[in-house]
Amino acid sequence: MEYKFSHIGIPTTEDKEWDGFFEPGKVHFTEFDKDEYKIEWVKFDADSPWHPLVTSIPHVAYLVPNIEEAIKGKEVVVAPFSPAKGVRVVFIAHNGSPVEFMEIKE
């Protein structure tokens, strides 16, 4: 499996200039592509349904060609979902840390 670095996501409780809000996950986010170091800030509402690992610990994100292949044998903590057209995302637990896989179809 090929993993290509995408970004790092850092949970915060501080307010930022948010670029968006993903309602199903109840998460505010900044666009990592706008940041020179590919940092995405994320702030979760108190009633976010996402796993505490993802809401409390920074994650690293990788682009993968196929999410199903990437998660084989892995502990999925946030099931695959589509935050935007042509984009699929999933979070796994790896050695006590969250890892995000992103599949982008153009």
Q: What is the pLDDT of residues 61-93, one digit of tens each?
A: 999 999 999 999 999 999 999 999 999 999 999
Q: Can you give the CATH number for the domain in which 77 is found?
A: 3.10.180.10
pLDDT in the model for residue 1: 86
How would you write the chain as a 3-class SS string? CCCEEEEEEEECCCCCCCCEEEHHHCEEECCHHHCCCCEEEEEECCCCCCCHHHHHCCEEEEECCCHHHHHCCCEEEEEEEEEECCEEEEEEEECCEEEEEEEECC
How many domains does the chain contain in total?
Answer: 1
pLDDT of 31 above 90: yes
Domain span at residue 99 reads 4-104
pLDDT of 106 above 80: no
